[in-house]
Chains A and B, each alone.
Chain A
Amino acid sequence: MINLLIKDFRLMFGNKQSASQRIISGIFSVLFFVAFIVIEVFLFRTILKTIKDIKYASTAFLTVFLLITTIFITIGNLFQAKRLFFDAKDIEQLSNRPVSNTQIIMSKLLYLFLIHYATSLMFEYPLFVAYGLLANKMPMFYYLCLFYPVATFFFSMGVALLLVYPLWLFTKFIKRHFWLEMSVSLVLICGLTIVYSYVLDIFIKLVANNDLLSLFSQESINGFIKFQNYAFPVNFLVDIFFNKHARALFPYLCISLGVFALGLSVAIFAFGDVRNISSSTTVNQKERPYKSTSVTTALIKKEFSLIGKNSDFIFSYTGLLIAQPLLLYFVTKSMNTVLGSGTIQYFAKLVPGLVDYVDILLMMLFTVIINQGANSYITMEERTIKNMKTIPVPFGKQLFIKVAIPFGLSTVSLIVSCLVLWLTKTITLQLALFAFLISVVLLFVFQIISLWEELSIRHGKPRTSSMSTLFAYLLPIVYAVTAIILSYTGLPTAVTILGGLGVITVIGAVPVIIVFTRANDLFLSLEAIN
Chain B
Amino acid sequence: MSVNENNNQTKTPSIVITELHKSYGKKQVLKGLNLEVFPGELFGFIGKNGIGKSTTIDCVIGSKKFNSGTITLNGYDIKAEPLLAKSQFGYVASEPSCYDVMTGYEYLEFIASIYNVSEGDFVRNMRYLCNRLKLDQKELGNRIANYSHGMKQKLCLVGSLLYNPSIWILDEPTVGLDIMAVEELKRMMREYANHGKTVFVTSHNIDLVSRLCDRVAIINEGQVAVLYDLNKEPNRRLHLSRAFMKIYGEEE
Residues of A with Cβ closer than 8 Å to B? 279-295, 297-299, 301-302, 305-306, 308-310, 383-384, 386-387, 389-394, 524-525, 527-530
A521 and chain B: residue at smallest CB distance? B65
Contact call B99/A306, Cβ cutoff below 8 A: yes
Complex-state Cα separation, A389 to B140, whole angstroms = 25
B62 and A290 contact, CB distance less than 8 A: no
Q: Is A389 a contact partner of B113 (Cβ separation < 8 A)?
A: no
The 8 Å CB contact of A394, one of B83, B93, B137, B141, is: B83
B244 contacts chain A at the CB level, 8 A cutoff = no
Contacts of B171 in A (CB 8 A): 530
Chain B contacts with A in 78-98, Cβ cutoff 8 A? 82-84, 86-87, 91, 93-98
Please, how many angstroms separate the alpha-carbon atoms of A383 and B100 in the complex?
Answer: 10
26 pairs from A and B in contact (CB 8 Å cutoff): A282-B138, A284-B138, A286-B141, A287-B141, A290-B122, A291-B119, A292-B117, A292-B118, A295-B113, A298-B109, A299-B114, A301-B110, A302-B99, A305-B99, A309-B101, A309-B143, A383-B95, A384-B97, A390-B61, A390-B62, A391-B114, A392-B83, A392-B115, A524-B65, A530-B54, A530-B95
A391 to B91, CA, bound (A): 10
State the Cβ distance, B232 to closest chain A Cβ, in Å. 33
Interface residues of B in 152-204 (CB under 8 A from A): 171
Interface centre among A283, A389, A392, A529 (most CB of B within 10 A): A392
B-chain residues with CB within 8 Å of residue A387 when the two chains form the complex: 97-99
Known: A284-B141, A387-B97, A390-B61. A290 touches B109 (CB 8 A): yes
CA distance A384 to B95 in the complex (A): 10
Is the pair B93, A386 in contact by a Cβ cutoff of 8 Å? yes
**Which residues does chain A contribute within 8 Å of B101, judged by CB atoms?**
305-306, 308-310
In the complex, the chain A residue whose C-beta lies closest to that of B146 is A280
Contacts of A308 in B (CB 8 A): 101
Smallest CB gap from B171: residue in A: A530
Bound together, the chains give a CA A306 to CA B145 distance in angstroms of 12
* B113 near A292: Cβ-Cβ < 8 Å: yes
Nearest chain A CB to B26 CB, angstrom units: 15
**Closest-CB distance, A461 to chain B (whole angstroms):** 15
B246 at the interface (CB under 8 A from A): no
Asked whether any CB of chain A lies closer than 8 Å to the CB of B6, the reply is no
Q: Are the CB atoms of B64 and A298 closer together than 8 Å?
A: no
Q: Which 10 A-B pairs have the closest CB atoms?
A: A285-B141, A298-B113, A309-B101, A392-B86, A389-B63, A392-B87, A392-B83, A528-B63, A293-B113, A524-B65
- Which residues 119-158 of B sit at the A interface, judged by CB distance below 8 A? 119, 122-123, 126, 137-143, 146-148
Nearest chain A CB to B181 CB, angstrom units: 18
A390→B142 contact, CB < 8 A: no
A528–B64 touching, CB < 8 Å: yes
Is B58 interfacial (CB-CB < 8 Å)? yes
CB distance from B243 to the nearest CB of A (A): 26
The interface residues of chain A lying within 8 Å CB-to-CB of B105 are 285, 287-288
Number of A-B contacts (CB under 8 A): 111
Complex Cα distance A285/B136, Å?
13
B213 to chain A, nearest CB (A): 22
CB <8 Å contact, B110 and A289: no
Nearest CB on B from A324, distance (A): 25
* Residues of B contacting A527 in the complex (Cβ-Cβ under 8 angstroms): 64
Partner of B93, one of A283, A292, A524, A530: A530
The interface residues of chain B lying within 8 Å CB-to-CB of A290 are: 109, 112, 119, 122-123, 126
Q: Which residues of A contact B102 (CB under 8 A)?
A: 302, 305
Given A283-B141, A297-B113, A530-B95, residue A292 in contact with residue B87 (CB < 8 A): no
| Cβ distance B175 to chain A, nearest Cβ, rounded Å | 11
- A382 CB to nearest chain B CB (Å): 8
Q: A291 to chain B: which residues have CB within 8 Å?
A: 119
Residues on A with beta carbons closer than 8 Å to the beta carbon of B122: 290, 292
| Chain A residues positioned under 8 Å from B112 (CB to CB) | 290, 292
A residues within 8 A CB of B9? none
B-side contacts of A279, CB under 8 Å: 146
Q: Is the CB of B86 within 8 A of A391?
A: yes
Question: Across the two chains, which residue of chain B brings its CB closest to A297?
Answer: B113
CB-defined contacts of A293 to chain B, threshold 8 Å: 113
Contact present for A383 and B87 (CB under 8 Å) = no
B70 within 8 A of A: no
Q: Is the CB of A528 within 8 A of B119?
A: no
- Please measure, in the bound complex, the distance between the C-alpha atom of A524 and the C-alpha atom of B106, giving whole angstroms: 27
Indicate if B116 sits at the interface (CB-CB under 8 A). Answer: yes
Contacts of B115 in A (CB 8 A): 392
User: Cα distance A26–B179 when bound, in Å?
Assistant: 51
Chain A residues with Cβ under 8 A from B96's Cβ? 383
Residue in chain A with minimal CB distance to B79: A524
B210: chain A residues within 8 A (beta carbon): none
A286 proximity list for chain B (CB < 8 A):
141
Chain B residues contacting A285 (CB-CB under 8 Å) are 103, 105, 141-142
B117 contacts which chain A residues (CB < 8 A)?
A: 292
Which residues on the B side are within 8 Å of A393 (C-beta)? 83, 114
B63 pairs with A390, CB closer than 8 A: yes
Indicate whether A294 sits within 8 Å of B99 (C-beta atoms), given known contacts A283-B142, A389-B63: no
For A298, the chain B residues whose CB sits under 8 A away are: 109-110, 113-114
Bound CA span A305–B102, Å: 6
List of A residues within 8 angstroms of B113 by Cβ? 292-295, 297-298
Residues of B within 8 A of A530 (CB): 54, 58, 93-95, 171
B106 / chain A contacts, CB cutoff of 8 Å:
301, 305
On chain A, the residues within 8 Å of B147 by CB distance are: 280
Complex Cα spacing A277 to B246, Å: 49
Bound complex: CA A280 to CA B122 (Å): 26
Residues of B within 8 A of A391 (CB): 86, 114
Chain B residues contacting A301 (CB-CB under 8 Å) are: 106, 110
Name which of B54, B84, B116 has the most chain A CB atoms within 10 A of its CB: B116
Q: How far is the CA of A249 from the CA of B210 in the complex (A)?
A: 79
Q: Look across to chain A and name the residue whose beta carbon is closest to the beta carbon of B113.
A: A298
A284 to B123, CA, bound (A): 19
- Asked if B58 and A528 make an inter-chain contact with CB atoms under 8 angstroms apart, the answer reads yes
> Given the known A-B contacts A386-B97, A392-B114, are A282 and B62 also in contact in the complex, defined by CB atoms under 8 Å?
no
Q: Are A281 and B146 in contact (CB under 8 A)?
A: yes
Q: A310 CB to closest chain B CB, in angstroms?
A: 7
Closest chain A CB from B240 CB (angstroms): 25
Instruction: Out of A292, A306, A389, A529, name the residue touching B62 (CB < 8 Å).
Output: A389
Give, as a whole number of angstroms, the nearest-CB distance from A380 to chain B.
Answer: 9
In the complex with contacts A384-B97, A387-B97, A525-B65 CB distance below 8 A: yes
Cβ A292 vs Cβ B65 within 8 A: no
Residues of A within 8 A of B109 (CB): 290, 298
Question: Please, which residue of chain A has its CB at the minimum distance from the CB of B24?
Answer: A459
| Min distance, Cβ B248 to any Cβ of chain A, angstroms | 21
